[in-house]
Amino acid sequence: MQLFIRLINNALIVIDVNPFQTIMDVKSIIYKRCPNMPVPPPNKGSFELTRPPWHHYVLHDDYSIDQYNITNEQTLTMIYKSPRNVSNTVA
């Protein structure tokens, strides 16, 4: 099946996937397809995938495409998610 991926720079790519592949597998395919795309270090944030119309719900890496009921030729959107600041304690 084919998925359309809207990247951070608003470019649109098409990838071939299987329904049993996980979201992490999809991200790996994207990174292989776009080797010049910068990948932020974990302490700076991460790129996550969402799907319309729920752009504020991030797709979890360990779920499969089938578990999210993603169908052929759907568009997923890549977003940048900043890390949560957990060091807000006052000494």
Are the C-beta atoms of 47 and 82 separated by less than 8 Å? no
**Residue 32 covered by a domain:** yes
Distance spanning both ends of the chain, measured CA to CA:
53
**Residue 87 covered by a domain:** no
- Tell me the CB-side half-sphere exposure of residue 55, using CA atoms within 13 A: 6
The DSSP output letter for 37 is: S
**Residue 90 covered by a domain:** no
Higher pLDDT, 71 or 37: 71
Predicted pLDDT of residue 55: 67
pLDDT band at residue 37 using 50, 70 and 90 as cut-offs = confident
The answer to whether residue 58 scores a pLDDT higher than 70 is: yes
The CATH code of the domain that includes 35 is: 3.10.20.90
Count of the separate structural domains present in the chain: 1
Average pLDDT, the chain: 86
Beta pairing class for 2-6 and 75-81: parallel
pLDDT, one tens digit per residue, over 76-85 is 999 888 777 5
Residue with tokens 């890549």: 78
